Each structure stands twice: as C-alpha cells, then as structure tokens.
Amino acid sequence: MLTDTEHGVQGDHRFYDCLDQFWHPVARDDDVGDSPQLATLLDRRLVLARINGGLVAFDDRCVHRGASLSLGTVEGSCLRCAYHGWAYDSEGTVVEVPANPEVSEGLAVGLRRYPCVVRHGLIWVSLTDDPAFDIPDFPHLEDPEFRVISCDPYEWDCASVRRLENYVDFGHFAWVHDGYLGSRDHAEVGVHETWREDGSLRCTATVVEPPSGKMKKHLSDVGDLITARNEYWISMPHTVLLDRHFEGGARYVLFMSASPISANRTKSFWFIGRNYATDEEADKEFLDFEWEILAQDKPIVESLTPDVIPSRLGEEMYVKTADAITLGYRQWLSELAAEVKQ
Ligand code: FES
Ligand SMILES: [Fe+2]
C-alpha cells in the first residue's frame, strides 16, 4: 500500500490502491489526433498514440533519459522521442537510436504497453493485463430511438469513488438540486431496492421532481410534480448508467464514468441521451441543464473530507433508506479491494 506522502493526500487508501485492477476511460477517441497525447491515470503518466492506425498506451517516459514521449511525434510505424530521437514500434520496443544506429537492433528494451481499447467513443486503459470486469455496456448509444450527445469531460478535485457516489446519492437531490432534481418540500427518499446483477449494482427508484428544469419542458402534460422511474446500473468501479422513464414513454439517459487521475482528482466522461425532443436544436437546452446541475454539485463534492473514503464502513454514517445504494456500493468495493489485493 502506498503511503500518504506518495499520494499527497491524507487518508485510508485501500479503495484507491485497488483501482489499478479495472478498466478506466482516459480520453475521448476523437480528442486524440495524429500527435501523441498525455493522459494521467492513477498517478501514472501515459502516452496515447496512433501507430499504424492502431491506438497504443505506453508509460509516458522514454527509457533513455526519461523524456515525456507525449512531446514526441508519430512517424509512420514509430513513436519518436523529442529529446534524442529514439524510436519505438507499436509494441513499445526500441527500433532506432539515431546517435548510434549500430546499436538500434540489439537493444532489447522498450516501454511498458497497457491494454487499450476504444468503446463508446472513449479510450479505455487498464493498468493490469487482466482487468477485473469488462468495460460497461451502453446500449442506448447504438439505439436509433435515442439521440445521444458525447459531452465535454470535466475534472473535479475529489476522489473518483466520491464522484460516483454523488451521482447515485438520492438524499442530496432535494437539497443541492432543490427545484431541479428534487424539492425540499418532498425531501424523503422512497424505499428502493438495490441488488447485484451481471457485474453491476442495480437499483430502481421512483422519484417525484419539480417540473422546472429546462429538460422537462419537452415532456407534455406535466403537472406540479413529475414522476419518473429511474433505473441504475453501477458498473464497478466508477461507471453509472441511468435510464429515466417518464410517464408517456419519454426516456432520458445518462452515462458517466469517473476516471481517477490521482487520489483526489477525477475526470468524468459522460453522455446524455433522450428519445424525445430529438432535434439537434434542443441539444443546448439539455446540456445547459446538466452543466447547471454539475455546478451545483462541484463545490459540495470537492468539500468532502477525507479526500479518500474510509474503507472501514463504520467511519461514516448511513441511514437505512436514503444511503442504501451508497452502502451497497461501498460493501462491494470493499470486497473487491480485499480480493484483488490478495
Ligand atoms: S530521452 Fe528519449 S531519446 Fe533520449
Ligand atoms: Fe447532484
């Protein structure tokens, strides 16, 4: 286990330390062009590059003098370091040393290459060769019934686990999002069931919300309150898919995957989709609404202490109904942390 000094934050790092056993998104596929690009995952600097049309992820550190390879260039089938021009092939093996060409073929050294795939328009990397779960499904992205928008990622100063928990924290809707996703006049959290299913923590909750949000104006015949059935899939460790069913068949979908840059910095990749008001002109209203929600959450989530979540469940308090999903999530994460570190 790393120490506080290595992480730069105080706290219990058991959850953080197990995160290298999972897939995480590190960039949007469209955001990586012909030049190598830096991405940071779990305090590890990675270089993403397209070599021979294929995407690779290596440690962002040249084996010669440690230059950042994300400052280099892709030349045909090679990634070339900007400092002394050493070239690496798509396996990460050194294939050229310009200052001493005669040694180029004899250097059996190279970069560590990580599993790297594109799924849902995102680049996912695993720091282990055998990640604990598959990349989460997002079937709505391929469903012609839905208009899905890939949204700009954002970074918060918080642990990735806390980012995920905020997304599925039913008790905060009435307070942080009063008038948007909930109402202080109806702050009680209804009974809902959580269970594990096919590698996801599942939850179905029926919620009552005020209709004031811009996204609601497209729903016809709304009264003073809107009832929605929310279906959640929480894929370990940090992805949530929420499928909202409104009366009359309208559905609104959110997909968010929180990627741990470090123990207290998180980059969230996200999509929104809907099967109503599917004209492009309506996109901005939906996006504006979501960015307003995020602006309400950010200062609260960044204020949570300690930065990392205590892995001993008894160190924070839970109320039976409102915190059921948080507790179920932490229990599962606790089991995984114990398993993957054995
Ligand atoms: S540091 Fe990369 S070639 Fe010298
Ligand atoms: Fe929120």
The reply to whether 5 falls in a domain is no
Sequence-separated (6 or more) residues with CB below 8 Å from residue 142: none
Residue 7: per-residue pLDDT? 52
What's the rounded Cα separation, in Å, for the pair 17 and 336?
11
Residues 152 and 98 in one domain: no
Q: Kindly give the distance from the C-alpha atom of residue 175 to the centroid of ligand 2, in angstroms, as a whole number.
A: 9
Ligand nearest to the CA of 60: 1
Q: DSSP assignment of 190-215, as one string? A: PP-EEEEETTEEEEEEEEEE-TTSGG
Flag whether the pTM goes above 0.85.
yes
The reply to whether 310 falls in a domain is yes
Is the CB of residue 230 less than 8 Å from the CB of residue 205?
Answer: yes
What's the rounded Cα separation, in Å, for the pair 273 and 101?
54
Residue 103: per-residue pLDDT? 85
Provide the CATH number for the domain around residue 30.
2.102.10.10
Token pair listed for 2: 């790393």
**CA-closest residue to ligand 1 atom 1:** 65
Token pair listed for 199: 């590698």
Question: For the chain (length 342 residues), average pLDDT per consecutive 10?
Answer: 48 81 97 96 98 95 97 96 97 94 83 97 97 95 97 97 94 90 83 88 87 69 77 96 92 97 96 95 93 97 84 76 87 86 59
What's the rounded Cα separation, in Å, for the pair 58 and 176?
40
Residues 271 and 229 in one domain: yes
What's the rounded Cα separation, in Å, for the pair 319 and 102?
69
Domain residue limits at 69: 23-126
Q: Which of these, 331, 329, 216, 193, lies nearest to 282 by C-alpha position?
A: 216
Q: DSSP assignment of 10-31, as one string? A: -S--HHHHGGGGSEEEEEEGGG
Atom number in ligand 1 closest to CA 66: 1
Q: Which of these, 132, 191, 168, 165, lies nearest to 313 by C-alpha position?
A: 165
Q: Which amino acid is located at 188 in the chain? A: E
Q: Kindly give the distance from the C-alpha atom of residue 306 to the centroid of ligand 2, in angstroms, as a whole number.
A: 19
Ligand nearest to the CA of 165: 2
What's the rounded Cα separation, in Å, for the pair 201 and 194?
7
Q: Kindly give the distance from the C-alpha atom of residue 104 to the centroid of ligand 1, in angstroms, as a whole number.
A: 13
Tally of structural domains, the chain? 2
Q: Kindly give the distance from the C-alpha atom of residue 296 to the centroid of ligand 2, in angstroms, as a whole number.
A: 7
Residue 265: per-residue pLDDT? 97
Q: What are phi and psi of 9, to 5 degrees?
A: -135, 155
Q: Which of 100, 126, 152 is the last residue of a domain?
A: 126
Provide the CATH number for the domain around residue 276.
3.90.380.10
Q: What letter does residue 309 receive in the DSSP assignment?
A: P
Residue 211: per-residue pLDDT? 73
Token pair listed for 17: 């330390």
Q: Kindly give the distance from the C-alpha atom of residue 256 to the centroid of ligand 2, in angstroms, as a whole number.
A: 13
Is the CB of residue 62 less than 8 Å from the CB of residue 49?
Answer: no
Residue 98: per-residue pLDDT? 96
The reply to whether 10 falls in a domain is no
Pairing of strands 44-51, 122-126: unpaired
- Tokens 């609601």 label which residue? 216
What's the rounded Cα separation, in Å, for the pair 162 and 166?
6
Residue 50: per-residue pLDDT? 97
Pocket, ligand 1, Cβ cutoff 6 A? 62, 64-65, 67, 81, 83-86
**CA-closest residue to ligand 1 atom 3:** 84
Q: Which of these, 70, 80, 73, 78, lies nearest to 52 by C-alpha position?
A: 78
